[in-house]
Amino acid sequence: MRRSERLRVLANEAIGPYALVRVERGGLDPGVPGQFFMLEAPGRPLPRAMSLCQAPPGELAFLLEAVGPGTRALAATEPGDELNVYGPLGNGYRLEVERPLLVGGGIGVAPLPYLSQRLGAPPALLGFRSDWYAEAAALVPNAEVVVEPILVTEPLADLVRDGHKVMACGPEPMLEAVRAIAPDAQLAWEAPMACGYGACYGCSVEIDGVLQRLCIAGPVLEAPKNGGTHGSPVGPLLHTSRRRATSWAPAGPSPAPPVHATSRPNRGERG
Ligand SMILES: Cc1cc2nc3c(=O)[nH]c(=O)nc-3n(C[C@H](O)[C@H](O)[C@H](O)COP(=O)(O)OP(=O)(O)OC[C@H]3O[C@@H](n4cnc5c(N)ncnc54)[C@H](O)[C@@H]3O)c2cc1C
Ligand code: FES
């Protein structure tokens, strides 16, 4: 059950370019892998969505890439700092899978250590832009690692032919490519999230032709079982053809109305 607590930071470790921030668990439930928490970003009015990376006893750990003011503030936290943490939120991965294959790209590795733990360390395929980024692969057991210019999709096709069922997280182009190879993959998508629980509509995206809030419908989405015609790929789960024209944080106290959002917002400052 989701709830909000003020939790103490226990440690903050650098892993390649990423920060692994460990907070005390308090009374929070770690939830299902692929679910996320809204973390207070010190000095910023809005929290930031983070997937749970690890759930050791008494702790919750989050792997962050500092890409903007919120993640920079979180990456700069020190042991003893306190953060408001709210969750678990959204829908995680369906765990009843016979031959799981975890696939991650870049910071998309974040939910995979906890997923791997819950599934008993199945094989994983991870892609990174350099050896420095690939240091995060140490968090996932049984991982084959590729570094650009090799992409995860290169070894993926053979593994899918062998009957592996893909559970993936990564940048949108990677997810699109994975879906083309494995139409029944479970994919964790991203959209700008200001509340994380359905109130702001900032995360509205078109899923199977219907505008939905990704924080409620996802972030993990699975192709509908009957979504495609004979032998052809299923229709796009998430249409991303149009970019939003404005910065994506809803302003003011009242929930913003639904907008035709994409999962890659424009670069812009927010709360
Ligand atoms: C469900 C979910 C789980 C996530 N889990 C993690 C995680 O485990 N580790 C992690 O490092 N990040 C994760 N993120 C992304 C993280 O929430 C954003 O990177 C963060 O909110 C950026 O905030 P900022 O203030 O640092 O940067 P901003 O200035 O807000 O953004 C920096 C740049 O990233 C873009 N951006 C910001 N948020 C998103 C987003 N959600 N999707 C696509 N582009 C975005 C902005 O448009 C801008 O170009 C997750 C996002 C979601 C929705
Ligand atoms: S993040 Fe507010 S509705 Fe989804």
Domains of the chain: 3-89 (2.40.30.10)
Ligand located closest to 219 CA: 1
How many angstroms is it from 90 CA to the middle of ligand 2? 10
Q: How many CA atoms lie within 13 A of 5 on its CB side?
A: 18
Q: What does the alpha-carbon distance between residue 37 and residue 159 come to, in Å, rounded to a whole number?
A: 32
The candidate with the shortest Cα–Cα distance to 37, out of 227, 203, 245, 195, is 195
Under a CB-based contact definition with an 8 Å cutoff, are residues 38 and 86 in contact?
yes
Q: Which of 24-38, 93-107, 212-226 has the lowest mean pLDDT?
A: 212-226
How far apart (Å, rounded) are the C-alpha atoms in residues 140 and 123?
Answer: 9
Q: At what angle do helices 153-161 and 172-181 cross, to 10 degrees?
A: 30
Distances (CA, A) of 101 to 6, 36, 131, 237: 35, 21, 22, 20
Q: Does ligand 1 have an atom closer than 6 angstroms to the CB of 36?
A: yes
261 Cβ inside 6 Å of ligand 2: no
- pLDDT tens sequence across 85-115: 999 999 999 999 999 999 999 999 999 999 9
State the pLDDT at residue 239: 47
Q: Is 172 helix (H, G, I), strand (E, B) or coil?
A: helix
What is the distance between the alpha carbons of residues 208 and 137, in angstroms, rounded to a whole number? 33
pTM, two decimal places: 0.86
Cβ of 264 below 6 Å from ligand 1:
yes
Percent of the chain with pLDDT over 70: 83
Residue nearest to atom 31 of ligand 1 (CA): 68
Give yes or no for residue 42 CB within 6 A of ligand 1.
Answer: no
Q: Which residue has the higher pLDDT, 258 or 27?
A: 27
